[in-house]
Structure 1
Amino acid sequence: MADDPYATLGVSRNASDEDIRRAFRKLAKEYHPDISKGNEERFRKVSSAYEILGDADKRRAFDRGEIDARGEPRHPGFRQYARNGARAGAGAGAGAAGFEEFGFGDIFSDIFGGMGRGGAAGGPRSNFSAKGQDVRYTLEVDFLEAAAGATKRVTLPSGGMLDLNVPAGVTDGQVLRLKGKGQRGVGAAEGGDALIEVRVRPHPLFKREDDDILIDVPITIDEAVLGAKVEVPTISGRVQLSIPKGTSSGRVFRLKGKGVKAAGRSEPGDQLVTVRIVLPDNIDDTLAYFFSEWRQKNHYDPGRK
């Protein structure tokens, strides 16, 4: 005697069509031979039960006692259901046409993401497998983290956590690929990849040009005239920069090796320091008188050099 299809699917007799479909999806995914070896018989029973309960006419006929759990008529003269040479209830060895006939096509398309449908061993796709889909994420990092490298913890949509090594010198918009960290594959196929697009936050002082770091540094008028040593920030700490006497605003100084050392590069870039002469907010009488006297004695015009 065939099993009660309601008991096989684990649903009540007043279950809705959606409840039945949902129960079959869950069990078919769990016991499908391409995913779970050794469960062919269980899969056959689940498929046979859904053949009855997944068809509104057959379900009503079963509930009225007109057909049994195999779909066979209980009373003489009851109409036979066309099989076209294939029954989904024949089990995991049923042909692909049988799956389509009884509505299994859409079910398996949903379960396996539209990648294909498989039968049991020896069926038309007994070794069905498909690589998992890639997943994409966006990760924001600070400017200095991108320059020096960092380890960042990424929270996946599933709630899982992933420690990601951000390599030194990563650029804005660069995509990091993590093999096998995407969606799981079907069957024996490998998982997809996780593609992490890096977004680098701007820095209030530094700008990047290839592997070089650019920065503007303010100096006073007396430092420009008399020369001085000024402290300059770099991505690896502060250093002393010698300003020679008579330095004009806009002059660029190069700090060798103080730029970004990107992965795969033998040498780091440089830091380019542009000095800007900044006058005091308050020009007092002493400073004004000095330059007034100086201007009368020195007719200097840089535009006519």
Structure 2
Amino acid sequence: MANEKNLYETLGVPKTASADEIKKAYRKLARKYHPDLNPGDKASEETFKKINQAYEILSNPENRTKYDKYGEQWQYGEQYEKARTSQQQTQGSPFGGYDFNFGSSEGGGFEDILSQMLGGRTGRRRSHPQPGQSIEQPVDISLEEAASGTSRLLSFQMQKPCETCGGSGAKDKKICPTCQGTGINPGIERLEVKIPAGVNTDSKIRLAGKGGYGQAGGQRGDLYLRIHVRPHEKFERKDDDLTVNVPVNLTTAMLGGEIFIPSLKGKLALKIPAETQNGRTFRLKGQGIPHLGKDGSGDLLAKVSIVLPEKLTDTERDLFEKLRQLRPDS
């Protein structure tokens, strides 16, 4: 448990540590104790959980402030303090006379109050369901996968319901010793997702109810896949159109002919008319990227790049000399 020590001690930093210092310490320890680097080592796995739990709290400025003020019961301290100041009646406390003396040996202490609220007179936790947070997960795919659609088996770390208390935060009418009352613990989520054809870089795919777990019976948040399409060595994409440079030799450009050009569906025949100029672009309808969520596809733009002959023979040179005489201004 991250709170057996002190969260700062767990990460090996002083209480005055900056956010950057906390992050650096966390990354260093996470690399050292990550389960993938210590297969089968239960001690490292447990330490990794403690490190993540500590960082989860201290990396959040609001939660860190609460932890510094209330200690290991930081989630409940503010709630009880508000209850005392806003709901207190003329006859005793709103919690049936429980004393809000934090740390005092006189009267009911903070631990006693929490224990009673979790399973004493009330018989249930006085907490409202809180929905889980939305999570954004980057997914890297190729241009071919963007055009045809694909799937990915994702594996990422997230807070999951505590197995000891079933996510309630309480065990045997006391604070759960595993999750310290949070109802959650760090875990690995594995999920197979489908990516539709037509996605582009920065496209977001929403998977409802696949995000962070809620607390106190709250619904799960959403998972958002943020897509990144890797650049292609041949094709340049703009919206759903693709552009490809196609080399055309001089004689074909001058006299016309047929060439074959690459596409995501294989080679396509393209007729080159006579006297085609360098840089001319031909549009092949429907040979681009499928429209996301709609029928049809973008176009393929074939841009001509005329290739001049090299290492001319004497005969070829003579012919070009004759052409120059015939067309001195060319």
- TM-score, normalization: structure 2? 0.56
Contact 1:154 1:163 in 2 (8 A): yes
Deviation at 1:266, TM superposition (A): 2.9
Contact 1:95 1:123 in 2 (8 A): no
Q: For residues 64-143 of structure 1, what are the structure 2 equivalents within 5 Å? A: 98=100, 102-104=109-111, 119=118, 126=126, 128-143=128-143
Whether 2:249 is the aligned partner of 1:220: answer yes
Q: Which ranges of 4 or more aligned residues in structure 1 deviate by more than 4 Å?
A: 93-97, 118-125
Q: Which residue of 1 aligns with 2:260?
A: 231
Q: For residues 245-284 of structure 1, what are the structure 2 equivalents within 5 Å? A: 245-284=274-313
Q: Which residue of 1 aligns with 2:145?
A: 145
Are residues 96 and 200 of structure 1, via their aligned partners in 2, closer, same or farther at CA, if it must alter by over 3 Å? farther
Deviation at 1:135, TM superposition (A): 2.0
Distance 1:235 1:207 in 2: 12
Distance 2:293 2:256 in 1: 39
Q: Which residue identity lines up with residue 267 of structure 1 in the other structure?
A: G
Deviation at 1:237, TM superposition (A): 1.7
Cα deviation code 1:60-104 (max 9, x no counterpart): xxxxxxxxxxxxxxxxxxxxxxxxx67xxxxxx778864966345
Cα deviation code 1:141-179 (max 9, x no counterpart): 001111221112212224442211111110101222211
Deviation at 1:134, TM superposition (A): 1.9
Q: For residues 285-304 of structure 1, what are the structure 2 equivalents within 5 Å? A: 285-301=314-330
Distance 1:202 1:20 in 2: 47
Distance 1:96 1:236 in 2: 73
Are residues 179 and 280 of structure 1, via their aligned partners in 2, closer, same or farther at CA, if it must alter by over 3 Å? same
- SS of the residue corresponding to residue 262 of structure 2 reads strand
Q: Which residue identity lines up with residue 278 of structure 2 in the other structure?
A: S
Distance 1:95 1:132 in 2: 34
Structure with larger Rg: 1
Q: Which residue of 1 aligns with 2:166?
A: none
Deviation at 1:275, TM superposition (A): 0.8
Contact 1:253 1:274 in 2 (8 A): yes
Q: Which residue of 2 aligns with 1:79?
A: none
Distance 1:282 1:95 in 2: 101
Are residues 19 and 264 of structure 1, via their aligned partners in 2, closer, same or farther at CA, if it must alter by over 3 Å? closer
Q: Which residue identity lines up with residue 286 of structure 2 in the other structure?
A: G
Deviation at 1:299, TM superposition (A): 2.6
Distance 1:97 1:174 in 2: 54
Are residues 280 and 183 of structure 1, via their aligned partners in 2, closer, same or farther at CA, if it must alter by over 3 Å? same
Contact 1:148 1:168 in 2 (8 A): yes
Q: Which residue of 2 aligns with 1:18?
A: 4
Name whichever of 142-151 and 198-207 sits farther off.
142-151
- Unaligned runs of at least 5 residues, structure 2: 8-71, 74-91, 104-108, 158-186
- SS of the residue corresponding to residue 283 of structure 1 reads coil
- SS of the residue corresponding to residue 237 of structure 1 reads coil
Q: For residues 47-58 of structure 1, what are the structure 2 equivalents within 5 Å? A: none
Are residues 220 and 124 of structure 1, via their aligned partners in 2, closer, same or farther at CA, if it must alter by over 3 Å? same
Q: Which residue identity lines up with residue 152 of structure 1 in the other structure?
A: R
Are residues 124 and 247 of structure 1, via their aligned partners in 2, closer, same or farther at CA, if it must alter by over 3 Å? same
Deviation at 1:127, TM superposition (A): 5.0
Equivalent residue for 2:196, pick from 160, 167, 170: 167
- TM-score, normalization: structure 1? 0.60
Contact 1:96 1:124 in 2 (8 A): no
Corresponding residue pairs, total? 212
Are residues 126 and 250 of structure 1, via their aligned partners in 2, closer, same or farther at CA, if it must alter by over 3 Å? same
Name whichever of 202-211 and 278-287 sits farther off.
278-287
Q: Which residue identity lines up with residue 260 of structure 2 in the other structure?
A: E
Distance 2:319 2:290 in 1: 47
Distance 2:304 2:97 in 1: 79
Q: What is the RMSD computed on CA atoms of the aligned residues?
A: 3.7
- SS of the residue corresponding to residue 280 of structure 1 reads coil
Contact 1:95 1:119 in 2 (8 A): no
Cα deviation code 1:188-226 (max 9, x no counterpart): 211112222111100001111111111110010111112
Are residues 20 and 239 of structure 1, via their aligned partners in 2, closer, same or farther at CA, if it must alter by over 3 Å? closer
Contact 1:95 1:124 in 2 (8 A): no
Distance 1:205 1:19 in 2: 57
Contact 1:137 1:196 in 2 (8 A): yes
